Structure 1
Amino acid sequence: MATSPTSGQLLVIIDPVARRTDGESVRIAKDVLSAGASTKVCLPDSPEEFARALTRRGSRRPVVIGDDRALTRAVTLLHRQRALTACVLSVVPVGGSLSVAHALGVPTGAVAAARAVLDGAERRLDLLVDDSDGVVLGSLRIPAPPTAGDTLPTDASDPYDPSDPSDPSDPSGPPWLRSLVRTLVPARPYRSVRHAHPSRHSSRHSLPSWPSRPVTAPPPPGPARLRIEVDGATLIDLDQPVETVSVTPGAPATAGTVKVVVRPSSVGAEAAPLQAYGRTVTVSGADFHYRADAAAAGPVRRRTWTVREGALGLMLPVR
């Protein structure tokens, strides 16, 4: 169901990662939005500032200019404030990972996405909510598949710092880098390093060198033994190891449900995947990691996801 927006006043929250990675697209989107509506622009530099701006939006419609993680952060905050059903959210995808926003129907390109904010219509989309108040906008995978972006630190609580382009050996750099330097390099008095060329003398050379290779997260384990329950019925039990589990929103004809596909582990001939539709999915067993949209999470031993039909109101182009 699509409806027209209720307010012509916009609160434009520009994620700092988007500002660093594609400042030109940010500028274009801001100009298009400012030309078509009354806008208040916020430039948060921390998750706390991001949350504060969203909380104080008043009657303005929030518009997030950022990547999938910024979109997920906004939806999570509104859900935890129990304000999601009364709010119409907009997003202009700018940054690194944009696949979730595009899969939801948000146009590619800053101009097209900004025009959808101004001239589009609200569409109510299903949302997957877990028992720890986390949200999934698109797909869920178990175990979490390895990606090039899975580097330590793996805690995604502050997604601003990991893409900070500052020199990691700079003591004024982001806190997580300074913390990781202290972890990787034993504490000892620094010694100045002599160089043959006088122009290379610098106080920065007295600092420990940063590893030339990124520290990657350990690879995921092999087949897992998990119990998968869909609406209380066991789809697969602990006696049969599984390779992957995927949970995705159902087709339009099955709104309010998710599609669960389990691929059992097999030796020799490939085992046929198991499939089910339902409103709740519970996974339990040995510690497991999972990937919800753009972020990896875990390990956990039990987690339940429930479909909230039409919980997310998103501005999308008129069909």
Structure 2
Amino acid sequence: MSAPEPTMSHAGAPVGGLLVLVDPVARRLDGESVRIAKDVLCAGATAKVSLPDSPEEFARALARRGHRRPVVVGDDRALLRTVTLLHRSRDLLGEPLSLIPVGPVGSLTLAGSLGVPLSAVMAARAALDGAVQERDLLVDDSDGVVLGGLRIPPPARAQVPPVRSYRSLLRMLLPGPPGTAQAPAGPVHRLRVEADGVVLADVDHPVQDVAVVTRQAGGQAEVVVRLTGCAALTERAATVTVSGADFRYRADHAAVSGPLRRRTWTLRPAAWSLTVPR
């Protein structure tokens, strides 16, 4: 459902039509911040406020926005949902997006890393008269998107039976035969990591973790690979492929994805834009 569309503009200078999409979770958790954001936005621009009750209604409202610029009131997941929908409809290069972060602090990590103020008032003011910041986007081979970055953490440590744990402790404390290679400390991956076709790690060398971070319209992602017993390798690339034994990854501080045997991420330079304070 949608609230009536206000026609007032701040100081008689409208900044263009806005579609204010209020995520239902934000409305339920912090109605006061939502109200403040709506008041600031409606006082400064011609705005249509949409209050979808489900992801499907959210998607329909976004698709029917016309020439209005989207302003999302919600957390990181709401922003990620919006970018994903616009990417899949091939409409991401239109008007810049704005985010009014509303939600628990732990659900706004991505927003903060992108330079969005965590204050509803400051974020609403940035949506009205902030600077437009172009940003790169990572798109994977299943058409998923990554806004800020992703990480392949070390695999979870398996539970070890008590007797085996005791024997493992003895093996760790007692020196082995001369020339015996030491096993890496803690769980590790056996992965092949390629950046623009250059092999940064292969399955014969244990990998502790991998991180890929996008940049502000930089044209390349930063790839960091930590190998056991070596200094971290850092490379910049437009395409990153990880393959090997089952692995999981966490993108944009969201839920963990996987397990997978292979995934390729391709950078789309300046694929979307976000308003931030000047």
The alpha carbon displacement at 1:121 in A equals 2.5
Aligned counterpart for 1:8 among listed residues 16, 41, 58: 16
Secondary structure of residue in 1 paired with 2:97? strand
Residue of structure 2 equivalent to 1:188: none
Show the 5 A alignment for 1:263-302: 263-266=226-229, 271-295=230-254, 296-302=256-262
Kindly provide the amino acid, as one letter, of the partner of residue 102 in structure 1.
G
Separation in structure 2 between the aligned mates of residue 84 and residue 131 of structure 1, nearest angstrom: 18
Unaligned runs of 5+ in 1: 1-5, 147-220
Q: Deviations over 1:39-75 (max 9, x none)?
A: 1111112111111111111010011000001000000
2:100 aligns with one of 76, 92, 98: 92
- CA deviation vs aligned residue, 1:15-41 (integer Å, no higher than 9, x gap): 111112211111100110011111111
1:145 Cα shift?
A: 8.3
| Greater RCO, 1 or 2 (C-alpha within 8 Å, sep 6+) | 1
The count of aligned residue pairs is 233
Contact 1:33/1:118 (8 A) holds in 2: yes
The partner residue of 2:130 within 106, 120, 128 is: 120
State the TM-score, normalizing by the size of structure 1.
Answer: 0.70
- Name the residue aligned to 1:51: 59
Return closer, same or farther for 1:44/1:87 CA change in 2, 3 Å cut-off: same
- Residue type of the alignment partner of 2:103: G
**Distance in 2 separating the partners of 1:291 and 1:60:** 32
Whole-angstrom CA distance in 2 between matches of 1:33 and 1:68: 20
Aligned to 1:79, the other structure's residue is in SS state helix
Q: Is the 8 A contact 2:154 2:188 kept in 1?
A: no
Match of 1:153 in 2: none
Q: Does 1:311 align with 2:271?
A: yes
Give distance in 2, aligned partners of 1:16 and 1:310.
29
Identical-pair percentage: 64
Cα shift at 1:129: 1.1
Instruction: Give the conservation status (yes or no) of the 8 Å contact 1:284–1:302.
Output: yes
Q: Distance in 2 between matches of 1:7 and 1:278?
A: 38
Residue 224 (structure 2) aligns with: 261
- The equivalent of 1:75 in structure 2 is 83
What is the TM-score when the length of structure 2 is the normalising length?
A: 0.80
Is 2:214–2:221's contact at 8 Å kept on the other side of the alignment? yes
Distance in 2 separating the partners of 1:37 and 1:222 = 54
Q: Which of residues 21, 24, 27 in structure 1 aligns to 2:32? A: 24
| Letter paired with 2:129 | D
SS at match of 1:128: strand
Unaligned stretches of 5+ residues in structure 2: 1-13, 157-185
What per-residue deviation string (whole Å, max 9, x for no partner) do you get for residues 64-122 of structure 1? 00000100000000000000012311110111311111111111200000000111132
RMSD (Å) for aligned C-alpha atoms = 1.9
Q: Name the structure 1 match of 2:141.
A: 131
Q: After superposition, what is the alpha-carbon deviation per residue over 1:252-311, rounded to whole angstroms, capped at 9, x for unaligned?
A: 6x8111111111134xxxx31111111110001111110000222111111111111111
Residue of 200, 206, 211 corresponding to 1:246: 211
CA distance in 1, matches of 2:131, 2:66: 20
- Secondary structure class of the residue paired with 2:53: coil
Q: Where does 1:184-195 land on structure 2 (aligned, <5 Å)?
A: none
Distance 1:88 1:145, change over 3 A: farther
Answer whether contact 2:154 2:189 (CA < 8 A) is retained: no
> Which shifted more, 283-292 or 137-146?
137-146
Aligned-residue offset at 1:7: 6.1
Distance 2:31 2:15 in 1: 27
